[in-house]
Every structure is written in C-alpha cells, then in structure tokens.
Amino acid sequence: MRFDLLTLFPEIFAGFLGQSLLKKAIDRGLIRVHVHDMRDWSRDKHQKVDDRPYGGGPGMVLRVEPVVECAEDVQLQGAERGHVVLLSPQGRRLTQAIVEELACHRRLILLCGRYEGFDQRVVELLRPDEVSVGDYVLNGGEVAAMVVIDAVMRLVPGVLGDENSHRDDSFSSGGRLLEFAQYTRPREYRGLHVPDILLSGDHEEIARWRGEQSYCKTRERRSDLLPGASAGDLDREETDNTKRPADG
C-alpha cells in the first residue's frame, strides 16, 4: 500500500517513519510512504503558500494553487491516482469502520492542513474524502495523518506478524465491542492474580469468558456501541484463541 503525505512540515514524519512496525513494513516493501513539501509547488519566490483570509479575520489560509497543483502532480506519480484524504476537523469522524474502508484503497494521498486550513476551492477541485480524527482542533494535519496511517497499516496483510492480531481488537468485528482484559506474566503481582480461567487451557471457556468481558466492558464504558449487538456476541465463534497469555 502506498501513502503520499502532502505537508508543509515534512521533517515531522522522520521519527514516525523510522520506528517500530511501520519501519519494518516499509523495509519489507509492504508499505511505501512518500512525503511531499507543498512549498515546492509555491509560485512565490519565498515559497509562501498561505495568505490572509478574504473578508478579514485572524490567521492565514492555505492558498489553492500550491495545494491543488501539488496533489495533481503527486497523483500522476503513481500507477493509480489514489484516494485523496483531506485531514480536517470538519470531516467525517474517523472510526474503525472508516479505517477498514480506507485500507481497501491501494493508495492514499493525505493532505495535511495548517494555519486556518485550506482555501475552500481545494475541496471543490480535489473532491477529497474529508476525515477528522476527533472533535478537537489540532495545529496541523500531520498528527492526524499519522493516526490514519497507523490505523490503516495494521490492516495491510502481512504488516502484523499474526493476521489474527486485530481480530479481537476494540471496534473490530463489526465495531460493536471493546476488547476483553488482557494479562501476561507474572501470574500474581502485588496481590493481583490473573483470572484462573486464562490458565485453564480450556479454549472454549476462555473464549466465552472473553466474550462476556468484552460485552460487560462495552456496556459499562461505551453502551452507545451496543444497540446493534446481540446476545450472540457473548459466544465468540472462534474458540481457537491465538492471543493466549503466556503461562507463568
């Protein structure tokens, strides 16, 4: 899968791209990330890309020409034009379902705003998928783009060593449940014990316990997720649990 990042601050991504799972995925050729500095498309001799808002008001607005021309050139750089995502607090709020949808694309072009955001004609011309990472305002789209990449890459086949790893994750499997409680060694710490069931080796019972845990936790913390959930969710279909904690 290919990601193209359009930004005014390319250096922000250096640490992110050079660490952990993402670095491994890039090294293995599963993910490609290209970072483009929108200033390179500025027509201004000082590489200025922003200007004052028409109608007055505070702050600066990203000009339409460098953004649109950068996006159009970048689209032509790949075998396919890609799905254009514009990070914006006004976009549809990111959920695991949207992450799954985005992961179906082979190429995502992520537009990171700054200042007061983009000139509206960027939206009219590029017709991007406007995505928000939550109801709050960030200084720029870079962190939001990292959120999108981080969530989407987990779904790219081969990126997580074990393809089952995200199966039980919160919001996965239809987005209705939070994940059950997880434990690892030691069996006891400061008087707190790992539940006996997880040490029983009875995978069917463990699956049932985890299903109940998921359901109860969701009801307690995020009952808004539950209306579509049925009692059947209590019994997980899969009993062969690959995410078993190690014996202590």
Ligand X SMILES: C[S@@+](CC[C@H](N)C(=O)[O-])C[C@H]1O[C@@H](n2cnc3c(N)ncnc32)[C@H](O)[C@@H]1O
Catalytic residue numbers, as ranges: 89, 116, 154, 169
The answer to whether 229 contacts ligand X (rule: CB under 6 A) is no
Which among 27-35, 87-95, 173-181, 191-199 is the span making contact with ligand X, rule CB under 6 A? 87-95
Identified binder of ligand X from the candidate list 20, 55, 56, 137, rule CB under 6 A: 137
* Count of CA atoms in the C-beta half-sphere (13 A) of 15: 4
Which one of 66, 89, 128, 211 is in contact with ligand X (CB under 6 A)? 89
Chain positions 29 to 58 lying near ligand X, rule: CB under 6 A, are none
Candidates 74-82, 119-127, 130-138, 228-236; binding stretch for ligand X (CB under 6 A): 130-138
CB of 198 to ligand X, least distance (A): 38
Pick 115 or 183: Cβ nearer ligand X: 115
Q: How far is the CB of 24 from ligand X (least distance, A)?
A: 26
Residue among 31, 39, 32 at smallest CA distance from 11: 39
Residue appearing with tokens 């969710």: 233
Round to whole Å and give the CA distance between 92 and 18: 29
Q: Cβ(18)–Cβ(42) under 8 Å?
A: no
Residues 6+ apart with CB under 8 A from 227: none
Cα 51 from chain centroid? Answer: 31
**The CA-based dihedral angle spanning residues 116, 119, 125, 130, taken in that order and rounded to the nearest 10 degrees:** 20
Range in contact with ligand X (rule: CB under 6 A) among 11-19, 106-114, 185-193, 207-215: 106-114
Tell me the residue nearest to ligand X as measured from the CB: 113
Contact 130, 123 (CB under 8 A): yes
Residue closer to ligand X (CB basis): 91 or 245: 91
Instruction: Return residues touching ligand X (CB under 6 A).
Output: 87-90, 112-114, 116-117, 132-134, 136-141, 144
